[in-house]
A = this chain, B = another copy of it.
Amino acid sequence: MSKNLTKRNEDYSKWYNELVVKADLAENSGVRGCMVIKPYGYAIWEKMQAELDSMFKETGHSNAYFPLFVPKSMFEAEEKNAEGFAKECAIVTHYRLKTDENRPGKLMVDPNAKLEEELIVRPTSEAIIWSTYKGWVQSYRDLPLLINQWANVVRWEMRTRLFLRTAEFLWQEGHTAHATRQEAVEEAEQMMNVYADFVENFMAIPVIKGLKTETERFAGAEETYCIEALMQDGKALQAGTSHFLGQNFAKAFDVKFANAAGSQEYVWGTSWGVSTRLMGALVMTHSDDNGLVLPPNLAPIQVVIVPIYKNDEQLESITQEANQLIDALKKLKIAVKYDNRTTQKPGFKFAEWELKGVPVRVAVGPKDIENGTFEVARRDTLTKEVVAKNNITSYIEQLLEQIQKEMFNKAFEYRNNHITEVNSFEEFKEVLENKTGFVAAHWDGTAETEEKIKELTKATIRCIPLDRVEEQGECMFTGKPSNGRVLFAKAY
């Protein structure tokens, strides 16, 4: 198949958009800003969901489901949160269409079916969930509430990009309620760690754990923990956030509990989420000019077997060998596909599976049958090896593990090579112009300076790393004192 994929160094953004569509991950829909997630892309998302869901359950969380709509009065109860999302809300105002008498067969909004109160399509569910928690919490015995929801949310973005920024997206949102501040803080930290574990070990994407500055914090949170990843073009991507909400939502929705001594206290909260945005991070961390590169843990097809033959007789003996291998791999729960389409040539198939990022490709021809071998190709390194038949199953099993690790290592090394310490604003701007990733710099801790730097360079503070070393220094912009570096970058 002809790929005609734009090269990354020609136009990274175009490369990304083309790849997402050509590899059958997603496409734009007929609805402004909304995407269609295609079966191949959705299969990857399902693997992400399954793993995250089991991690959430292992840490004691249960799933539930809350309404899509939030009445305006409920939405505005937590003022900061409402303010933060007000500008990008889809609003339902009517509940009926009727025949448009001026256009036969067409419909119009029925003006007699106006809602008494407008409904906001949830951009996030704190409001509706805390209004529910009020009914669920009376005593300390009802706490903690550890709940997660898999859902769609809508944020009316003006400039959208597949997976990275869409008006509707899929995500999970955890919402927990606790008796003490300490327990809520620990929950928020735990979920940041769960996310980091998942993204690093499952998606093979290294992340930096940190805190958001006040400016970048979730609207309504007291503290936002985040994990930040670095894309191949030197831009950062926020891969997940976990918020310590303090008692903000408890106060807005009057959620109190009787403590062991019998007196009333407000509940402490957290919320945390990751979304289909992670699909964008996956593409932009690993893929290359030939197409997707998928870590084995997320690949819907981990191994593809392509027969090379000139006649039916050859195909038959190849298929026999292939079937043995398929059975052996399936026993190891390795997802394998035999691409025996007669409508396409091997070269086309190779290019197609390369584009779709299948980690391991096995080719078998008449010579392999003679020699008792298979040709095994790695998608991530584009290298090939001839492997003896009696050894092939364990070879592939180990290779998949190796690929998973090496993909992480490669991305880890790249990321580490793209953190630059600077001590002046001139240096800072230079590094940003060269698109070389994170910039570690001293900052005076004020929103004002942060804002000015953003205006001048489009770079934002991605996080205050949790593991940063204390270091006395001067803000690169104002010269005022600082006690540690923060990470700046341009970001998705």
Interface residues of A (CB under 8 A from B): 27, 29-31, 34-39, 42-43, 45-46, 62-72, 74-76, 79, 82, 86-99, 105-107, 109, 118-121, 128, 131-132, 135, 141, 147, 151-152, 154, 156, 168, 170, 343
Contacts and interface: CB of A to CB of B under 8 A. Distances in A.
Contacts of A36: 64-67, 132
Q: How many copies does the complex hold?
A: 2
Contacts of A121: 68, 92, 121
A89 B93 contact: no
Contact of A31 (B39, B65, B67, B154): B67
Given A68-B154, A89-B95, A63 B39 contact: yes
A342 B156 CA distance: 50
Given A35-B67, A67-B34, A92-B121, A72 B156 contact: no
Contact of A62 (B43, B90, B105): B43
Q: Which of A90, A106, A109, A154 has the most CB of B within 10 A?
A: A90
A327 B462 CA distance: 46
B89 A96 contact: yes
B63 A86 contact: no
Given A63-B43, A88-B96, A91-B92, A69 B31 contact: yes
A68 B168 contact: yes
Contact of A96 (B72, B119, B156): B156
Given A30-B132, A42-B64, A64-B39, A90 B109 contact: no
A67 B109 contact: no
Contacts of A34: 67-69
What 4 A-B pairs are tightest by C-beta distance, nearest first? Answer: A34-B67, A39-B62, A86-B97, A37-B65
17 contacts: A29-B67, A29-B132, A30-B71, A30-B74, A30-B128, A35-B67, A37-B64, A43-B63, A68-B154, A69-B168, A75-B107, A82-B97, A87-B98, A89-B96, A91-B93, A91-B95, A141-B343
| Chain A contact residues: helix, strand, loop or mixed | mixed
Contacts of A120: 97
A107 B72 contact: yes
A344 to B, nearest CB: 10
A32 to B, nearest CB: 8
A313 B343 CA distance: 74
A70 B152 contact: no
Contact of A42 (B35, B37, B63, B72): B63
A168 B151 CA distance: 13
Nearest to A300: B62
A349 B382 CA distance: 61
A45 B65 CA distance: 10
Contact of A119 (B31, B35, B141, B152): B31
Contacts of A170: 65
Contacts of A38: 64
A92 B123 CA distance: 14
A39 B66 CA distance: 11
